[in-house]
Structure 1
């Protein structure tokens, strides 16, 4: 049976937070990995703690290691204690939650493992009342996706046996270029219907990212000025203080463009630039996001030097402590040409945004961890203040802060009391101080939405391919160009000097986030 999401107006439904999904079983492939204990099970425990998922909800961990049910539960308990936003677990609540957890040992390519998994799921349906409703979560390396998907189809696990629903969540990276993304989509959709597929990007689960649509479309004050007539440019920054840590083997094959730009930052771009959807449902929202991607002016391979900047960090200083360079990391080629910093200039060639540049930058080992969308408006005419010391007026800037301090600020100009001076002041809204509650973790929201059958915050097939169609030519241009003089910025700096020159050529500068 193919399920179809049932959706509703978020402004009437409180963004669906009052809804509770049907009982179901979540099978986590790669359950012994870090993602499961650090993010997934803590998110599921918190949803249980807040009574957002029903009794009978069950988790089956599927992985190669020879673990028992008890060892799996104990390992997940430690993960929740270490990583849950709610702190240490409540004993009785954990016992109730863990009663629905079990472990299934199998290699991903072992047909017998899937046959016995099907039998186990049938037993869970009978004992815990899960009604044949299943979520398959691929928390595995991407090279395992095709074999798992093929085995699920071969054993009929892509269809519920009891009239329930079946869904699959696929982690990023979804392909490494346009051709591989198309191939993976074809493999997935040979087994599952598109309505069953939930391509997850945890950035879309962040509270401020979700609020961006509400901010834009539920406040009449901003829509008339959200266009080329009033906006000078947009900056989107995702900066990280960490290096590649223990991900060197993966990251050296990926780089900042694939790891951050193609998914997270393209999502932020589409939400900033999209038109209002005709309804708040999955297809309407994703239709508008795809329109933005299709309107982005492609960067031809021959033009990458004009519209992009690359960097790689070397040894430096982070917070007063020495930091090693990228190339000394485990699993990294000592002559690696992989970028740890990227800056791009993109244009959205449609009626609303014609001529407005979107500057994107992301990097590792930068001085501060921050994610921000900054909309800079055109400056006011200075004629009125031309003969006074107040003529150096800064432009208005609207900043949507995604992490770590979620909120929205607006910089405006004001006269200093008792003086003939104008100074910028900030109107500031912070989630934590305004609402007095901690925001849910991104995975909590996304896992709940999948169980509810709501794909709004997940990525559709055409969206993935449209994004890769913009990124792949840039990689081709880099590959055809000269070797870079890496490293070209110290750990603890804001990227290479060429990134500042990149902005200065346009008479602009990066914001201090």
Structure 2
């Protein structure tokens, strides 16, 4: 087999790759090394003029086409309040691809993709616009051979989810022709608490069956996140020590070095815990702590992740083991930056958290007594997301204390961003005549170990939607269990004072350091 077919990076169209795949009777269709090419299909993006669509979704669609993973007749439909023609929309996509695509721009790929682009102007309550959308879908079925298969991507604020879903139902767009499929893709946040999440799920499920709904958590599309499962369950050396007998604690960090920018309207009243902990960090906790699934499929993964989320136990003293903060004025990147309360559009009395740290425990046999520390924040020291599994110290050391005074705890660190990879930290003797032991690191980086660059998370996730592969998408049960964990913390914070202040460019409020110090531990400095 040629490298071109193996990697999906060659110049051949998707149809050629699929044809070669099917022509060899010796090839096992379960061979995951072969490219997974989407069948006849199209994608409708609501909110196509937003930043997410311009910076992530449209470039991801082009990158998939450029890698030969979309069918030749793939179609892209934009829906927004713009007085555009099809060619205007194609130009917007072209500009977004030129600026943000991961792969090189190739004119022949773009030409084929552009032939399947359509634009429908209108509001979400505009019946005529949805009739035009239905006509566009039917026309693409006839002219591009999409086979009635369409995914509807709701890249819109959550308050519009119910209206868009109801309009799709009303105009027959949610109902697939016989032998075809229709799917809905929903971006977070999935509600702002348990009650709103349940209400949203009920409305969406009135229109689409649960297996038709794909909730996007882009972190689950990242290579390093998927590598957690590969490392644990494809290797014998780690799983035997992945438990309370060897692990001291786990730290999960998502730090940003930017402020809220122009997102005051979205962010204020939501905050870091609702924006990040409820979805991203609790999903990372579940993947780190889950038992081995019986298979790598959506139902098996859901079963094991749900067991973990249902086993999460909150600390008895929320005041001592949770912290929320707001960034204050400070210096970052050599420039003076404002505090959260000085940001445009933020009221001086706002109590929204831009930093959140919580201590959780997983109350089962594997993890009993092992704390999981989760933290996230804006305007922190640097942009980094990582999972650090920190191990207990050796129960006995034959070395003098002076030999090991610079030795820290062993750790396995998954770097989710920005430099995807993994680090194993352990002690090693320093060269010389004396016995002195210090920490050293063994590092694995995706960019250095593999010749093919990692696809963007949205590439993987959009392709999975078109293939109907729900492995990396949280189900509504997981969403509701996550809110059950966070709601009591948010309610406690609402009753108890204002967020602690921390200087921009620091690693958060002092109260967060004190939270770990009470347990005899300290935060890692990534």
Q: TM-score, normalised by structure 2?
A: 0.92
SS in 1 for 2:398: helix
Matched residue of 1:181: which SS?
helix
Contact 2:256 2:379 in 1 (8 A): yes
- Aligned residue for 1:285, secondary structure, equals helix
Q: Report the counterpart of residue 348 of structure 2 in structure 1.
A: 334
Of 144, 168, 172, the match for 1:152: 168
Q: Which whole-Å deviations, capped at 9, do the CAs of 1:331-380 have from their partners, x for residues lacking one?
A: 21122111100111000000100000000111100111100000110001
Of residues 468, 479, 488, the one that matches 1:453 is: 468
Per the TM alignment, residue 383 of structure 1 is displaced from its structure 2 partner at its CA by 3.8
Pair 1:508 & 2:525 matched: no
Output aligned runs, 1:164-175, within 5 Å. Answer: 164-175=180-191
**Would you say 1:315 and 2:332 are equivalent positions?**
no
SS, match of residue 252 in structure 2 = strand
Q: Distance in 2 between matches of 1:211 and 1:389?
A: 35
What is the aligned counterpart of 1:60 among 72, 77, 101? Answer: 77
Aligned-pair Cα RMSD in Å:
1.5
State yes or no: 1:266 paired with 2:282.
yes
Aligned to 1:282: 298
Shift of 1:146: 0.4
Q: In the alignment, what sits opposite 1:231? A: 247
Match of 1:408 in 2: 422
Query: In the alignment, which residue of structure 2 is the partner of 1:96?
Result: 112
CA contact (8 A) 1:234 1:359 kept: yes
The CA distance in 2 between the partners of 1:48 and 1:100, in whole Å, is 12
CA contact 1:21–1:54 (8 Å) conserved in 2: yes
Change (3 A) 1:298 1:423: closer
Question: By how many angstroms is 1:392 displaced?
Answer: 5.3
Contact 1:299-1:473 at 8 Å conserved across structures = no
Q: Could you say which residue in structure 2 is the equivalent of 1:124?
A: 140
Instruction: Name the structure 2 match of 1:256.
Output: 272
Structure 1 counterpart of 2:483: 468
Are residue 489 (structure 1) and residue 502 (structure 2) matched?
yes
CA distance in 1, matches of 2:32, 2:480: 28
Whole-angstrom CA distance in 2 between matches of 1:375 and 1:229 = 13
- Choose the corresponding residue for 1:106, options 122, 136, 153: 122
State how far apart, in whole Å, the 2-side matches of 1:387 and 1:442 are: 46
Contact residue 406 and residue 439 of structure 2 kept, 8 A = no
Task: Structure 2: give runs of 5+ residues left out of the alignment.
Answer: 1-27
Shift of 1:391: 5.7
Name the residue aligned to 1:477. Answer: 492
Question: Residue 152 of structure 2 contacts residue 185 of structure 2 at CA under 8 Å; is this kept in 1?
Answer: yes
**Contact 2:118/2:136 (CA < 8 Å) preserved in 1?**
no
Contact 1:299 1:474 in 2 (8 A): no
* Matches of 2:163 and 2:401, distance apart in 1: 72
1: CA distance, partners of 2:498 / 2:90:
49
Counterpart of 1:85 (choices 102, 113, 116) is: 102
| Partner SS for 2:313 | coil
Question: What are the superposed Cα offsets for residues 175-229 of structure 1, whole Å, 9 maximum, x if unpaired?
Answer: 0100000000000111110110000000000110011101110001111000000
Change over 3 Å in CA distance of 1:92–1:498 after alignment to 2: same
Distance between the aligned counterparts of 1:382 and 1:12, measured in 2?
A: 52
Query: C-alpha offsets along residues 362-420 of structure 1, whole Å, 9 cap, x if unaligned?
Result: 11001111000001100013441146634654211110101111111111111112232
Supply the distance in 1 between the matched residues of 2:225 and 2:262 (Cα, whole angstroms).
28
Report the more deviating stretch, 20-29 or 328-337. 328-337
Runs of at least 4 residues off by over 4 Å: 11-17
In 1, Cα distance between equivalents of 2:446 and 2:31: 16
With over 3 angstroms needed to count, the CA separation of the structure-2 counterparts of 1:260 and 1:16, relative to structure 1, is: farther
* Residue 430 of structure 1, CA deviation: 0.5
What per-residue deviation string (whole Å, max 9, x for no partner) do you get for residues 448-483 of structure 1?
Answer: 001010001001010000001111111111111223
Three-state SS of the structure 2 residue aligned to 1:474 is helix
Q: Structure 1: give runs of 5+ residues left out of the alignment.
A: 1-10
- Rounded Cα–Cα distance in structure 2 between residues aligned with 1:396 and 1:455: 35
Aligned pair 1:31/2:45, yes or no? no
Q: Distance in 2 between matches of 1:85 and 1:470?
A: 37
Structure ranking higher on relative contact order (CA contacts 8 Å, 6+ apart): 1
Q: Secondary structure at the match of 2:207?
A: coil
**Aligned partners of 1:206, 1:319: CA distance in 2, in Å?**
27
Question: What TM-score results when the alignment is normalised by the length of structure 1?
Answer: 0.95
Q: 1:416 to 1:186 in 2, by over 3 A?
A: same
Q: Contact (CA 8 Å) 2:315, 2:359: kept in 1 or not?
A: no
Q: How far apart are residue 155 of structure 1 and its match?
A: 1.6
Between the aligned partners of 1:299 and 1:32, the Cα distance in structure 2 is: 43
Q: Which residue number corresponds to residue 357 of structure 1?
A: 371
CA distance in structure 2 between the aligned counterparts of 1:318 and 1:384, rounded to whole angstroms: 45
Contact 1:203 1:264 in 2 (8 A): yes
Which deviates more from structure 2 when the two are superposed, residues 134-143 or residues 114-123? 114-123
Q: 2 CA distance for matches of 1:126 and 1:22?
A: 16
1:185 aligns with 2:201: yes
Cross-structure match for 2:154: 138
Structure 2 CA distance, aligned partners of 1:245 and 1:365? 11
Change in CA separation of 1:179 and 1:26 when aligned onto 2, cut-off 3 Å: same
